[in-house]
Amino acid sequence: MPVNMDKPQLWKADVVQSVDFYNEWFMQFAPKAYRETRRETTSQVEFALDKTENLTDISPETLMKHPEILPILRMATAPPIARDRLIGLASISPSLVRNMELKQRVSPNMAKDTLVEQLGKIGFLIRKLADLDICPWLESGNRPRKPEIHRAATVVADRLCGSLADPIIRNAQEKRQLASLQQWLESCGYRYVKPISIPDFREMEAGTFAFHLNVPVALEGGQMQINISVDVAVMPKKRSKSTLPLLVECKSAGDFTNTNKRRKEEAVKIAQLRANYGKNTRFILFLCGYFDSGYLGYEAAEGLDWVWEHRIDDLVKFGLKR
């Protein structure tokens, strides 16, 4: 039976409450999450400066030993260089840059001579475009003092965190949403189990829940199988052999634009799940933030119901008895 998807007369008031809920959290906790990440990132920048002799030695050998410092080096230039811009300006392999930044390694199959040449191009470009305002020792030739190095590291860390601000907030919000669900479920007598201990989500024990559980689905034609990662799976306390866990997707948003851009993702998930496990598969959204009537109407039309975080007790209406 629908809980929220069939009550459009309540949507506008819920949107207002959800936006207020998100904004209150953001003002109270987002700066802390950002500061903690910036502190950690500053240490990483100081490490990169140490390994490159404060940007005076960005040699191929250094980059081979420490490929993970490349994103930091890109933020130490004036202006900071985007990944694709670096590839174009240095005329280097996109695969090399992706390996260094995403896998913290150099391209394993690249010929040694080619690798040294391309890493040399990276070092030359970074040194040529280095921001002399934050690294004045590169122009003066003087040995930098510790306060200068720390100041430069802080600026570069700010640039890195600025480019990662949205993911930082999303990660903090996801942790908070999962913590809220865990607190509510445990207060109702449900028990957490590790996803690795669940061979088949359909066979979860009654009264248990898990986070980040992979649910296998076969795509059309059955020629390919993929895993759908479900944020939360909860098996009700009272179940029959045919009872499936309640699957929950945590969603938070700090503006209305991005939610409407990504609203098809959940519709695709529920369609794939029901195609594999039957029309009684229950997949709902756990919402906090900027989800307007356009978003809600789209999801309702696709058969998706939801629980607002500011009304978390609505989970009872989905069969999760206290």
Q: Mean pLDDT across the stretch 231-255?
A: 90
The CATH number of residue 242's host domain is 3.40.1350.10
Tell me, what's the pLDDT at 164? Answer: 67
Tell me, what's the pLDDT at 211? Answer: 97
What are the pLDDT digits (tens) for 51-70?
Answer: 999 999 999 999 999 999 99
Tell me, what's the pLDDT at 66? Answer: 96
Give yes or no: residues 129 and 213 share one domain. Answer: no
Give yes or no: residues 170 and 159 share one domain. Answer: no
Token couple for 27: 């003002």
Tell me, what's the pLDDT at 192? Answer: 97
Q: Mean pLDDT across the stretch 230-234?
A: 96
Tell me, what's the pLDDT at 35? Answer: 81
Length of the chain measured in residues: 322
- Percent of the chain, pLDDT > 90? 67
What are the pLDDT digits (tens) for 101-147?
Answer: 999 999 988 999 999 999 999 999 999 999 998 999 999 999 999 98
- SS (HEC) of the chain: CCCCCCCHHHHHHHHHHHHHHHHHHHHHHHHHHHHHHHHHHHHHHHHHHHHCCCCCCCCHHHHHHCHHHHHHHHCCECCCCCHHHHHHHHCCCHHHHHHHHHCCCCCCCCCHHHHHHHHHHHHHHHHHHECCCCCCHHHHCCCCCHHHHHHHHHHHHHHHHHHCHHHHHHHHHHHHHHHHHHHHHHHCCCEECCHHHCCCHHHCCCCEEEEEEEEEEECHHHCCEEEEEEEEEEECCCCCCCCCCEEEEEEEECCHHHHHHCHHHHHHHHHHHHHHHCCCCEEEEEEEECCCHHHHHHHHHCCCEEEEHHHHHHHHHHCCCC
What are the pLDDT digits (tens) for 257-309?
Answer: 777 677 788 888 998 999 899 988 999 999 999 999 989 999 999 999 999 99
Give yes or no: residues 40 and 158 share one domain. Answer: yes
Do the domain assignments include residue 87?
Answer: yes
* Beta-strand relationship, 246-253 and 191-192: unpaired
On the question of pLDDT at 10 being above 90, the answer is yes
What is the tally of structural domains in the chain? 2
Tell me, what's the pLDDT at 284? Answer: 96
Query: Final residue of a domain: which of 144, 164, 184?
Result: 164
d(CA 2, CA 18): 20
Which one, of 312, 32, 18, lies nearest residue 172 by Cα?
32
- What does the longest C-alpha to C-alpha distance in the chain come to? 76
On the question of pLDDT at 76 being above 90, the answer is yes
Residue range(s) defining the domain that contains residue 157? 34-164
Do the domain assignments include residue 62?
Answer: yes
What are the pLDDT digits (tens) for 148-177?
Answer: 999 899 989 888 887 666 777 888 889 999
d(CA 157, CA 133): 15
On the question of pLDDT at 240 being above 80, the answer is no
Do the domain assignments include residue 1?
Answer: no
Give yes or no: residues 187 and 299 share one domain. Answer: yes
On the question of pLDDT at 238 being above 90, the answer is no
On the question of pLDDT at 220 being above 90, the answer is no
d(CA 48, CA 63): 10
| Res. 29 pLDDT band, cuts 50 70 90 | confident
d(CA 31, CA 228): 32
Strand partners, 226: 217
| Res. 222 pLDDT band, cuts 50 70 90 | low
On the question of pLDDT at 187 being above 90, the answer is yes
On the question of pLDDT at 221 being above 70, the answer is no
Report the mean per-residue pLDDT for the chain: 91
Give yes or no: residues 160 and 185 share one domain. Answer: no
Token couple for 317: 């209406």
Give yes or no: residues 18 and 65 share one domain. Answer: no
Give yes or no: residues 302 and 285 share one domain. Answer: yes
Query: Final residue of a domain: which of 127, 144, 164?
Result: 164
